[in-house]
Amino acid sequence: MVSPKFRNLSVQQHTGSTGLGYYKLILIVPILLGASLLASALANAKGAPESFAPLVERVMPTVVNVSSVHEVKRSPKDEQFNDLFKEFLERYNQGKPKQEGGRKATSLGSGFVIDPNGYIVTNNHVIEGASAVSVTFDNGDSFDAEIVGRDKKTDLALLKIDTEGKLIPSAEWGDSNAARVGDWLMAIGNPFGQNNTVTAGIISAKGRNDVTGNSYDNFIQTDASINRGNSGGPSFNMDGQVIGVNTAIFSPSGGSVGIGFAIPSNLAQNIVRQLKDHGEVRRGWLGVRIQHVTEELALGLRLDEATGALVASTTPGGPAERAGILKGDVILTFNGKPVEEMRRLPLMVAETEVGKVVEVVVWRKGEAVTVSVTLAELDDDQVAKAENQGSNNNEGDKNNAFLEKLGLRIAGMNNETRTELGLDNPEAGVQVSAVSSESVFYEKGIRAGDVIVEVDQQPVSSPEQVANLLEQAQSEGFGVSTLLVFRSGDYQWIAVRLPKAETE
């Protein structure tokens, strides 16, 4: 799913195909800078090389064109057309036997040799569904290629050609983490079928994680000119090392606007290594549902800053639950690395070896707690991801009056009702019976029927407890309370800014 920032834009997947058309998926790449703009950028950029020619001569033998053949099934309309013009077609074919089955279409992309024994990296969308794949080198040598493995989540694939025991020129991985915004970058590929085209630009940005809506997005953004057919091709640093695999574009019209994206090498080489060793990717799984820590949630959780990933729920029997991670914990560090924002955690977990014991630091009720978690293997339906966006029991006039002032009415629940709704804890939870449209609760999306399970990380089972905890937070001047709300089978943390306590 494309993020809101991209939803009104046309992003196209390229295979540079003939007969297949474009896939509306944000896959592969253009950026046509005008000649004058590129010349200006080259002239003004610090440390611009005198010429890219020596680097091109060194790495060009490692870059290949990737051609894949796809079977295109005939539609009923095709068959009707053939019947209508059968006589004409037979005359045109001059007695040649007719082709049976579907038509064939060829897609063109790019790739690069990453192992001298004949292993080649490209994009998954270049070869997905192909009945045959071949690669062609700069010197014209062509080989049939075997698909070793592919990973749809990161859009990477690994091919293998038979080199008959001979070692061939191969590229070297670089450190994409060490690459800086503003550093030079050189791309080589097969745009529009124009073999081994070289373009250059700079790294425009790093860590772009809102391009395709995938949890594993972490793209390098570049202004190097890359177009349809560049998919799967390498982006080199000035030491001739691959720091990115060209994959996607940002485009309002499908044409080039100067914003392209590459999979960073530090992510790609881990995926490629697993494809080579196992033919598939094995990702770590933590077993949590998480959400962003907003400024208001940070206040309510007594955090100094809005950082980390807030645990909305844990998967029963999953690694996180077994390790003692709780709803309401904020994951601050994972395996020794800070979780600066929620979207970083799924990628960090996925890149960690299955079965590894890692230390996780969580913020829990005002203090940091360290737990050890043994990661399990991720299944397709087990993804650490972000949260997307009943009888009355009057506990006293005082509490009701306080809640009424806040614009909230709450009804008690019994254990049986909680169990029927699917709450994890059948002894906690009160149901919202009414919300004033002018209240802060309504503003935050709380509606009648929602179940409040916790207030400021304290389980609640009665309206009295909700009122007491909200009043306590208000009187102590915190300004914000956090509510764990259960709705339609899912949990979500909501930060509510409380009005100041009235003084007498």
Residue entry with tokens 């029997």: 317
Residues with Cβ within 8 Å of residue 437, at least 6 apart in sequence:
none
Residues with Cβ within 8 Å of residue 453, at least 6 apart in sequence:
327, 423, 425, 428, 429, 459, 460, 484, 485, 486, 491
Q: Give me the catalytic one of 231, 313, 461, 481.
A: 231
- Please list the helix, strand and coil fractions of the chain in percent, rounded to the nearest 5, in that order: 20, 35, 45
Residue 125 is a catalytic residue? yes
Q: Quote the longest CA-to-CA distance of the chain.
A: 102
123: left (phi over 0), alpha (psi -120 to 50) or beta: beta
Coil, strand or helix at 193: helix
Name the token pair of 491. 């949990």
Strands (E) across 138-193 are located at 142-151, 156-161, 172-173, 184-189
d(CA 137, CA 151): 24
d(CA 406, CA 395): 17
In this structure, are residues 28 and 263 in contact, taking their beta carbons and an 8 Å threshold?
Answer: no
d(CA 161, CA 145): 5
In this structure, are residues 52 and 200 in contact, taking their beta carbons and an 8 Å threshold?
Answer: yes
d(CA 198, CA 138): 12
Q: Among 308, 321, 285, which residue's Cα sits nearest to residue 424? A: 321
Q: Among 288, 278, 271, 366, which residue's Cα sits nearest to residue 322? A: 288
Host H or E run for residue 121: strand 119-122
Coil, strand or helix at 496: strand
d(CA 351, CA 269): 11
Amino acid at 402: F
Q: Give me the catalytic one of 155, 329, 450, 456.
A: 155
Provide the 8-state DSSP code for 255: S
Q: Classify residue 265 by burial, with Cβ atoms within 10 Å: 0-12, 13-18, 19+.
A: buried
d(CA 199, CA 185): 9
Q: First and final CA of the chain: distance in angstroms?
A: 53
In this structure, are residues 27 and 12 in contact, taking their beta carbons and an 8 Å threshold?
Answer: yes
d(CA 146, CA 155): 17
Residues marked active site are found at 125, 155, 231
